[in-house]
């Protein structure tokens, strides 16, 4: 039932852009595999072999740390409404640090220059393979809306509180790999 493609075509792009949530999975050669949900209208398809998402502050920063160590990243989309389908994007990631020229260019071009509270970095995925599968086992859910909790949390912390949180919780993965958020972090 699975089909593999070398790139995102127009039909697959349309499917991706309709989804309200996606999941990212990353890992280093050793340590834990991380899987995280993403939403909040953060993903953009830049071309047939490249997507980005605007990453917001979270309890950890595993994707950035794994990107530095290994780079493998998979994004998975599931159809929770309409016809069943699962779509996976396999490839290598790179982290575009907040405040840099490329970050600012993408923020302007893809997100209208609007940086949401707690914006941390942009994750770019260079796609090597696209795979679809049936999704028959994925339940049906109706989208109600985005939770306002992350915005409220980030706004309450303020810019200084967010930066302090990054130093405390986002500088290293749970396995001890540096996330690369700060200039003083050595490469692994």
CB atoms within 10 A of CB 100: 12
User: What is the phi/psi pair of residue 92, to 5°?
Assistant: -120, 140
* Secondary structure class of 112 (helix, strand, coil): coil
| Predicted confidence (pLDDT) per residue in 108-119, tens digit | 999 999 999 999
Across-strand partners of 34?
26
User: What is the phi/psi pair of residue 104, to 5°?
Assistant: -65, -40
The CA-atom distances, in angstroms, between 90 and each of 10, 54, 66, 77 are 18, 18, 15, 12
Domains defined for the chain, CATH in brackets: 3-170 (2.30.110.10)
pTM, rounded to two decimals: 0.94
| Predicted confidence (pLDDT) per residue in 136-176, tens digit | 999 999 999 999 999 999 999 999 999 999 999 999 999 99
Separation of alpha carbons 1 and 4, rounded Å? 10
Separation of alpha carbons 21 and 124, rounded Å? 17
Provide the residue count of the chain: 188
Residue matched to tokens 């990212």: 24
Separation of alpha carbons 2 and 81, rounded Å? 20
| Closest to 123 (Cα-Cα) out of 58, 179, 67, 186 | 67
Mean pLDDT on 31-35: 96
Mean pLDDT on 5-23: 97
Q: What is the pLDDT of residue 164?
A: 96
Q: Sign (positive/negative) of CA torsion 154, 158, 161, 166?
A: positive
CB-based contact 78:135 (threshold 8 Å): yes
Band of the pLDDT at 91, cuts 50, 70, 90?
Answer: very high
């Amino acid at each position: 039932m699975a089909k593999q493609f070398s790139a995102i075509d127009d039909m697959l792009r349309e499917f991706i852009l309709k989804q309200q949530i996606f999941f990212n999975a990353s890992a280093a050669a050793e340590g834990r595999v991380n899987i995280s949900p993403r939403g909040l209208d953060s993903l953009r398809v830049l071309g047939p072999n490249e997507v980005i998402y605007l990453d917001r502050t979270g309890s950890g920063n595993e994707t950035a740390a794994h990107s530095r160590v290994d780079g493998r990243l998979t994004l998975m989309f599931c159809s929770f409404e309409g016809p069943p389908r699962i779509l996976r994007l396999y490839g290598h990631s790179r982290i575009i640090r907040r405040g840099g020229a490329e970050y600012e260019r993408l923020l302007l071009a893809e997100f209208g220059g609007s940086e949401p509270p707690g914006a941390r970095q942009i994750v770019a995925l260079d796609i090597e393979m696209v795979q679809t599968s049936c999704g028959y086992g994925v339940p049906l859910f109706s989208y109600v809306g985005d939770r306002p909790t992350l915005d409220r949390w980030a706004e309450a912390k303020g810019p200084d509180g967010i930066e302090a949180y990054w130093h405390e919780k986002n500088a290293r993965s749970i396995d001890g790999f540096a996330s690369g958020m700060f200039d003083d972090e050595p490469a692994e």
